[in-house]
Amino acid sequence: MDTPDTGSGPEGPTVDGPVAVTQEDVGPDRSDPTRHPYGPGPTGQAPYPPPYLLRRPTNNLAITAMIVGMVGIIACPLVGGVAVYLGNRARAEIRRSGEDGDGMAVAGVVTGWIGVGLSALTMLFVLAYVGFFALFLTSLPSAP
């Protein structure tokens, strides 16, 4: 009769051949929905579910600043100043209250400044265009 060699190696006893693996070796059965990860309670009833992790609320001004900043870049660069104001105010509230949303507030400030820059460039372009057009009209010879 063949018996597996159970020699002793540096890691402890070794077994040649197939080894039976039990449920205790691999951990709890996660596929059974009736089993609770914490096991039964002291009286045999199912324990309470684990508590939900509460998230900090997101600052509403930060959300508004980010949206207004994006609208300022896409549609109307004149509202960029509003996004900068709302973003700075939101960052101050977040520092005071510990709410989430600092990244959105920064995004509102950055996109707001981009909108302000686009507004300034647009105004300079329009003024240059009107100035060159007026210069062109004054340089034409007058009619006899």
Residue 73 located in a structural domain? yes
Identify whether 38 is part of a domain: no
Residues in the chain: 144
Establish if 33 belongs to a structural domain. Answer: no
Task: Quick: pLDDT tens for 23-64.
Answer: 555 555 555 555 555 555 556 565 666 677 788 899 999 999
Query: Which pLDDT score is estimated for 78?
Result: 86
Interval 9-17 mean pLDDT: 56
> Is residue 114 in a domain?
yes
Across residues 66-93, what is the average pLDDT? 94
Average pLDDT over residues 12-23: 58
Q: Say how many domains are in the chain.
A: 1
In a domain, 53, yes or no: no
Q: Is the pLDDT of residue 71 over 80?
A: yes
Q: Confirm whether 64 is domain-assigned.
A: yes
Q: Is residue 132 part of a domain?
A: yes
What is the residue range of 66's domain?
60-139
Q: Kindly report the CA angle at 24 between 21 and 29, in degrees rounded to 5?
A: 100
Q: Are 75 and 111 in contact (CB under 8 A)?
A: no
Alpha-carbon distance of 104 to 83, in angstroms, equals 11
Residue 65 lies in a domain: yes
CA distances from 17 to 4, 9, 14, 35, 104 (A): 6, 16, 10, 33, 60
Q: Are 72 and 83 in contact (CB under 8 A)?
A: yes
| Cα–Cα dist 65/60, whole Å | 9
Find the mean pLDDT for residues 12-25: 58
**Across 9-13, 72-76, 127-131, 138-142, which has the greatest mean pLDDT?**
127-131
- Per-residue pLDDT tens digits for 103-134: 999 999 999 999 999 999 999 999 999 999 98
Q: How confident is the model at residue 93 (pLDDT cuts 50, 70, 90)?
A: very high
